[in-house]
Amino acid sequence: MSDTASIDAPLREGLVLRSTGSWYDVRSGDETVQARVRGKFRLEERDVTNPIAVGDRVTMRMGDDGTGLIVDLLPRHSKLSRRAAGRRANREHVLVANVDAAWCVQATKLPSFNPGFVDRFLVMAEAYGIPAGIIINKADLIETKEHADDLAYWHALYESLGYPVLLVSAEHGEGIEDFRAHLEGKTSVVAGPSGVGKSTLLNAVEPHLALRTGEVSQKTRKGKHTTTFAELLPIAGGYVADTPGIREYGIWDMEPEELSGYFVEMPPYLDDCKFSPCTHDHEPGCAVKEAVENDEITPERYLSYLNILASLQGEDVGR
């Protein structure tokens, strides 16, 4: 169907289930139709790499060939985004729209638990007002007490901040029913670095999905990408967004002075800083730094804050 389709063609509303770049699978009524985006609509959305994302509700004009032309995007109640990669790094890439919950998937090992990734994910969820939680997969790979104690520390830390943390084994079924209960009737995003077992985890919750899974490279200790396109999968009476593996979230559209508001343990101290605005980095009389010294804010989370702050300020530091 072309952009010159008759304006008399019937209009239908639908839910975007899958995006392959140029075509979208849209669920409308009892069927799923393929649709493209109107050219003018694409030009109007120059600040984003993808004007339509999975989870969006759209209006289509249907053609005689059974395909649709997306002519309007209905209002979103939420979204989860990241900074676009490569040459388009100054633009937004919407991962999924109309999200009810966001889950950051990590692994006990292969690859190792990465708190820096977790904290960036949680900041994004807080910035968009999306309830978030953490899944630690591959519980079956915990072999030593030292390893178990290390994971228990992160488990307790994030739960103390109000985030649900689930220790699961997609391979052995441990914790899967608990995760299923959290997904029921919601549109959730499940995201994490490649290799942590997202596809295996979703297969364990809903075996009929039969998602393709991969192995962790023994050479690089990083996962191989198995999810090619963003997709909304029907699970537990709701939907889960399965997004391509992302090695690191880039914080999108946030000013450095806003960051502390999205670390949930920091807001109680923000009004007590000597200077306003305060970056909680080098300023004297900073209540946040004092809270770190008094063990009221953990040094690990404060280090994450400083690393993300530096990235927002344009400095090239990693974790």
pLDDT surpasses 80 at 125: yes
Q: Are residues 178 and 98 in the same domain?
A: yes
Domain boundary among 75, 103, 127: 75
Which residues face 113 on adjacent strands? none
Does residue 5 sit within a domain? no
pLDDT of res. 149? 98
Q: Are residues 154 and 213 in the same domain?
A: yes
Q: Are residues 93 and 25 in the same domain?
A: no
Q: Are residues 306 and 235 in the same domain?
A: no
pLDDT of res. 39? 73
Query: Domain limits at 196?
Result: 80-242
pLDDT surpasses 70 at 216: no
Q: Are residues 195 and 291 in the same domain?
A: no
Does residue 202 sit within a domain? yes
Indicate the burial class of 179 (C-beta count within 10 angstroms; 0-12, 13-18, 19 or more). Answer: buried
Q: Are residues 153 and 40 in the same domain?
A: no
Domain boundary among 242, 271, 287: 242
Report CA 249 to chain centroid distance, whole Å: 8
Number of domains in the chain: 3
Q: Are residues 157 and 129 in the same domain?
A: yes
Helices 299-312 + 115-127 axis angle, to 10 = 70
Q: What is the CATH number of the domain that holds 215?
A: 3.40.50.300
If pLDDT is split at 50, 70 and 90, which confidence band does 51 have? confident
Task: Give me the numbers of helices (H) and strands (E) for the chain, helices first please.
Answer: 8, 13
pLDDT surpasses 70 at 267: yes
- E strand spans, the chain: 11-19, 24-28, 31-37, 57-62, 68-73, 79-83, 92-97, 101-107, 132-137, 165-167, 187-191, 230-235, 238-242
More confident residue, 275 or 246: 275
The closest alpha carbon to 246, from 80, 101, 16, belongs to: 80
Instruction: Please write the tens of the pLDDT for every residue from 4-30.
Output: 455 667 789 999 999 887 899 999 999
More confident residue, 127 or 222: 127
